[in-house]
Amino acid sequence: MKTLYKQYIVVTLVVIIASLVISMFLLGELYNKVVREDTDEENLEIAYELVHIVEEMPAERIDEYFQSVAKLGYQIVIIDENQMQTSYGTKFANMELNQEMLDTVSSNGIYHGIRDYKQNFYIFNHYANDVKNTIGVPFNIEGKQYALFIRMDNAALFTEMHYLIVGFIIICAIIIFVAMILLARQLVQPLKQLQYATEQIAQENYNIDIKINRNDEVGRLAKQFQKMAQQLAVNDQMKKDFINNVSHDFQSPLLNIQGYANVLKEAENTEEERVQYLEIIEQETKRLSALTKQLLLLSSLDQKNLPIEKKTYSLDQQIKELVFAKRWLLDEKQIELIYELEPIEIYADKHLLEQVWDNLLSNAIRYSEEKGKIVVTCSRKENVVVVSIRDHGIGIPKDSLERVKERFYRVDTARSNQSSGLGLAIVSEIVERHNGEFTIESELGTGTTVSVRLYDK
């Protein structure tokens, strides 16, 4: 299996090797187009100066002179008319002369071996220890023709400073390579921690502690990953709580239905008792049906990419129809209802908002005292539509205000059979899908005011 660490090292080596190859190629081009011509000209000037001095000095001192010049760091080869060779200084590895070099003796021409030598790869031609890699000029001593072939001794070119430079380059390359390996390890280690954390999350173990203290992108990724794990833990707990709550809310009416169905089997039940038991079964069945509808609605709202069907309709007419539909409940508890509804056309999902007003008004009726009062208002301020429902009921404790929008949360457990604990959660989800705001203000023993703000654009 390929690991990021190995890939990083391989890529580093490839980059270093590619850099060296490209550098050698570019240096070779520079050498061929610039340095080689200059080197050839410099050696040609030196050769002319030497033969000029040699041609004017006594013949017996020529050999001594060439030896002295060779000690200064030059490789010299002399050819006479008979093609006899005399070498001074370090001998060339290849002493084989070509025809052009031999013709230099008699033709009085110039041999540009440094400029034209191309037997090796690019810049390596410069360091070829070959007699052909020289500059050649003819000269005359006492009527005899000779040719001088000369170049700087390659060994002499590498002074102590050159060795220091080469050593410096090699040490830098080693340090860079080691640094890249350490950097790769530093990069891979936190990724391994994240990989392990991912494996733990896949096994539903959200209690992980990622110890990555960095201020770069990897550090920020680790922090976000830790937050994600914490949120997954919260969501997992919420899912378990949700299942427990749903199971409880289904189990309770089902047990009631089962229990009263068994009681109905007994022959000694009076007609009045039988009707009473059937009414309880019917009530529990409706309760299950309502709970199922609410769960299906919440499930659809949880799909954030699910489009909502908006259209323009009369909001005040919708609320008014809903109030009339609840009239029998209001009369049953002798609740006075006051509504102030401005004529408002709104662009929204009519079906979903009907669920909002139905839940809020049902809660207001459910938790209002007998002979109480409910006030419903609907108004527009510029592009904001505000719907408010205020009751004078039992109110909500302050410590519960933040939680009433949670699914299955009930303020009064003694009255848990009256509510599924999903109504305000549904309201909150629908209002959020409309990019609106849902607020609750309440005081225990005084009443509750719920407000929905919708931005009509």
What average pLDDT is seen over the chain?
Answer: 82
User: Quick one: 368 exposed, middle or buried, by C-beta within 10 A (0-12, 13-18, 19+)?
Assistant: buried
Instruction: Tell which of 306, 335, 355 closes a domain.
Output: 306
CATH code of 74's domain? 3.30.450
Helix axes 4-30, 160-202, angle to 10 degrees: 150
Q: Are 92 and 131 in contact (CB under 8 A)?
A: yes
**Total tally of structural domains belonging to the chain:** 3
Residues 207 and 291 in one domain: yes
Percentage of the residues of the chain whose pLDDT score is greater than 90:
17
pLDDT, tens only, 375-431: 999 999 888 999 999 998 888 888 777 777 776 666 654 444 455 667 788 888 888
Q: Does residue 190 lie in a domain region?
A: no
- 213/260 same-domain check: yes
Q: Is residue 333 assigned to a domain?
A: yes
pLDDT at 413: 46
**What pLDDT does 325 receive?**
85
Least confident of 127-136, 188-197, 234-243, 254-263: 234-243
| Pair 445, 324 in one domain | yes
Regarding whether 345 and 422 lie in a shared domain, the answer is: yes
Looking at the fold, whether 225 and 364 belong to one and the same domain comes out as: no
Same domain for 412 and 271: no
If asked whether residues 302 and 329 sit together in one domain, one would say no
Residue 174 domain-assigned (yes or no): no
Q: How far apart are CA 90 and CA 129, in angstroms?
A: 10
Model-level pTM?
0.49
Residue 436 covered by a domain: yes
List the domain range (segments joined by +) for residue 326. 309-455
Beta bridge partners of 448: 391, 442
Reference 112, options 28, 43, 46; nearest CA is: 43
Highest mean pLDDT among 119-133, 232-246, 289-303, 383-397: 383-397
The sign one gets for the Cα dihedral 421, 425, 430, 434 is positive
Instruction: Give yes or no: residues 299 and 314 share one domain.
Output: no
Question: Where is average pLDDT lowest: 49-53, 137-141, 215-219, 246-250?
Answer: 246-250
Whether residues 314 and 291 fall in one domain: no
Are residues 294 and 331 located together in one domain of the fold?
Answer: no
Residue 446 domain flag:
yes
Tens digits of per-residue pLDDT, 80-130? 988 899 999 889 888 988 888 888 888 878 999 888 888 776 667 777 889
Q: At what angle do helices 350-366 and 315-325 cross, to 10 degrees?
A: 40
Least confidently predicted of 69-83, 265-279, 346-360: 265-279
pLDDT of residue 408: 65
Domain end (from 96, 130, 157): 157
Average pLDDT of span 251-264? 80
Report the pLDDT value the prediction gives residue 121, as an integer from 0 to 100.
Answer: 67
Decide if 114 is inside a domain.
yes
Tell me, yes or no, whether 42 and 109 share the same domain.
Answer: yes
pLDDT at 88: 93
CATH code where residue 382 lies = 3.30.565.10
Same-domain check for residues 129 and 12:
yes
Query: Is residue 54 situated within a structural domain?
Result: yes
In the predicted structure, residue 160 carries a pLDDT above the cut 70:
no
Sheet of strand 373-381, all strands in order from the earlier edge strand to the far edge: 336-341, 373-381, 384-391, 447-455, 437-443
Helix and strand totals (H; E) in the chain: 14, 12
Residue 175 lies in a domain: no
Q: What pLDDT shows up at residue 161?
A: 57
The type of residue at 345 is E
Looking at residue 150, its pLDDT comes to: 93
CB-based contacts of 12, cutoff 8 Å, min separation 6? 177, 180, 181, 184
- Domain finish residue from 273, 306, 339: 306
- More confident call, 42 vs 35: 42
